[in-house]
Amino acid sequence: MVDQFLSAGWHVLATTRHAEADGFDRSNVRLQILSCNVAESAGRETIVQYVAEHWSEGVDCLINNAGYGQAGPLEALTEEQIRQQFEVNFFAPVLLTRDLLLYLRKVQGKIINISSVLGFVGMPMQSMYAASKFALEGLTESLYYELSAHGIKVCLIEPGGFRTQFADNMVWPSDEKQTSPLYQQQMSGYRNCLERVRAKPGKNPDEVARIVVSLANRNSMPLRVRIGDDTRVLYYLRRTLPQQVADRVLRRISGKILESK
């Protein structure tokens, strides 16, 4: 996404926890990379400090993209895993947005929050990830109205599955053997399902980046943008079909995922 923004002529401030190995061209004067963890207050402070020192005239667009998936049944997750999922996927965007609003207001900028298909559909083995993205959706939808009179546009991106490092970076329960045999069987089904998906050619995330850049360049943005057929089908199921029908279909899909061989 950073490359697409640079190609479109933007000045970019990007963050990563691995600045030494990100592969970006440090000689580009329109790119600044900060090595920080957005889930820590010191990391967010580094960003806000940079903006105050270098971009005090205003920020045109904030993209809250950092996120990861916590997999596993709720009963097998530690309190730390549960809280960390929300620290990265929810509290980091909340607090970064709050602290950068001063600069976004100055130029009537944009906020683009990267949610997920699991921001409007719950799935087994993904309860904490879905909960964190549902929370992000509630925040973003509220800000869409709250910030409208300030001229700040707000958008949720709801991608389906795209081939990134997401599956590799997924966090699993630390001690799966402690869970019941049924949970172990379900986790194994869920893993098989992920493996099956990974064995197929994945969708290129450049499509998401291209859409995000084009939204950032527009005067107006819709509240929600779904990217991918999978997310559009599930949205149709969840929001258009009668609730009982949708629940039945989604339960069947969930069952098939957990029983994957």
- CB nearer ligand NAP, residue 37 or residue 188: 37
Q: Which of 32, 164, 184, 192 binds ligand NAP (CB under 6 A)?
A: 164
- Does the protein bind ligand NAP through residue 24 (CB under 6 A)? no
Q: Which of 7, 9, 18, 201 binds ligand NAP (CB under 6 A)?
A: 18
Distance CA 99, CA 114 (A): 18
* Strand ranges in 88-239 using DSSP code E only, listed in sequence order: 110-114, 153-159, 224-227
Per-residue binding string, ligand NAP, 140-159, x by CB under 6 A, is -------------------x
The active-site residue, picked from 129, 144, 183, 190, is: 129
Angle at 197 between CA 195 and CA 199, to 5 degrees: 70
Q: Which of 65, 179, 217, 260 binds ligand NAP (CB under 6 A)?
A: 65
Q: What burial class does residue 148 get, using C-beta atoms within 10 Å of its C-beta: 0-12 exposed, 13-18 middle, 19+ buried?
A: exposed
- Which residues partner with 243 through β-bridges? none
Q: Dig out the tokens for 158 from the structure.
A: 């709801």
- Does the protein bind ligand NAP through residue 131 (CB under 6 A)? no
A 10 A CB-CB count for 99 gives 16
* Strand ranges in the chain using DSSP code E only, listed in sequence order: 12-16, 31-35, 61-64, 110-114, 153-159, 224-227
Q: Which residue carries 């029983």 as its tokens?
A: 259
- Closest residue to ligand NAP, based on beta-carbon distance: 67
Q: Which of 6, 39, 156, 187 binds ligand NAP (CB under 6 A)?
A: 39
- Does the protein bind ligand NAP through residue 15 (CB under 6 A)? yes
- Does the protein bind ligand NAP through residue 116 (CB under 6 A)? yes
Q: Dig out the tokens for 216 from the structure.
A: 């950032």
Q: Which residue carries 């990563």 as its tokens?
A: 16
Rounded least distance, CB 62 to ligand NAP, Å: 14
Which segment (11-19, 74-82, 190-198, 240-248) binds ligand NAP by CB under 6 A? 11-19
Enclosing H/E stretch for 98? helix 92-106
Question: Would residue 129 show up in a list of annotated catalytic residues for this protein?
Answer: yes
DSSP 20: G
- Does the protein bind ligand NAP through residue 184 (CB under 6 A)? no
Distance CA 85, CA 72 (A): 12
- Does the protein bind ligand NAP through residue 135 (CB under 6 A)? no
Q: Which of 12, 62, 67, 143 binds ligand NAP (CB under 6 A)?
A: 67
By the criterion CB under 6 A, which residues form the site for ligand NAP? 15-18, 37-39, 65-68, 88, 114, 116, 159, 161-162, 164-166, 169
| Catalytic (active-site) positions | 129
